[in-house]
Amino acid sequence: GNSVTQMEGPVTLSEEAFLTINCTYTATGYPSLFWYVQYPGEGLQLLLKATKADDKGSNKGFEATYRKETTSFHLEKGSVQVSDSAVYFCALYAATGGYQKVTFGTGTKLQVIP
């Protein structure tokens, strides 16, 4: 079946540091890939997505590139802010047996300190 593996947290960075959160996946066919962000006590929000190989998703300074050859979708940001502190989930979407399901990673908590 489909699966998503992302790096364990928590990740603690100083403000303005470079961020990478690794994500790899296993899937049949050609899934779409997503990053969602969850702030404390809230639901998840879509951060960015990519629907085919070599696509780059970007939003709010975050970027991720769909790498089919390495089955990866790593999240990056050049300069993090305290307001980026949250839990980040990598996810893939694929139709399975006629039903459309999303598979989520376990989440990576990011803490940015001033």
Partner 1 sequence: DGGITQSPKYLFRKEGQNVTLSCEQNLNHDAMYWYRQDPGQGLRLIYYSQIVNDFQKGDIAEGYSVSREKKESFPLTVTSAQKNPTAFYLCASTLAGAGGTQYFGPGTRLLVL
Give the footprint of partner 1 on this chain (CB under 8 A): 32, 34, 36, 41-46, 49, 51, 89, 91, 93-94, 99-102, 104-107
Mapping DSSP to helix (H, G, I), strand (E, B) and coil, where does residue 67 land? strand
- Least distance to partner 1, CB of residue 83, Å: 19
- Least distance to partner 1, CB of residue 13, Å: 19
Measured between alpha carbons, how far is 38 from 96 in angstroms, rounded to an integer? 26
- Least distance to partner 1, CB of residue 76, Å: 21
Closer Cβ to partner 1, 19 or 88, answer by number: 88
Measured between alpha carbons, how far is 76 from 72 in angstroms, rounded to an integer? 12
Closer Cβ to partner 1, 37 or 80, answer by number: 37
Closest CA to 4 of 111, 109, 112, 102: 102
Closer Cβ to partner 1, 4 or 19, answer by number: 4
Closer Cβ to partner 1, 82 or 95, answer by number: 95
In Å, how far are 4, 20, 77, 97 from 93, measured between CA atoms? 11, 22, 23, 13
Token pair belonging to 82: 């305290």
- Least distance to partner 1, CB of residue 92, Å: 8
Token pair belonging to 31: 């899934």
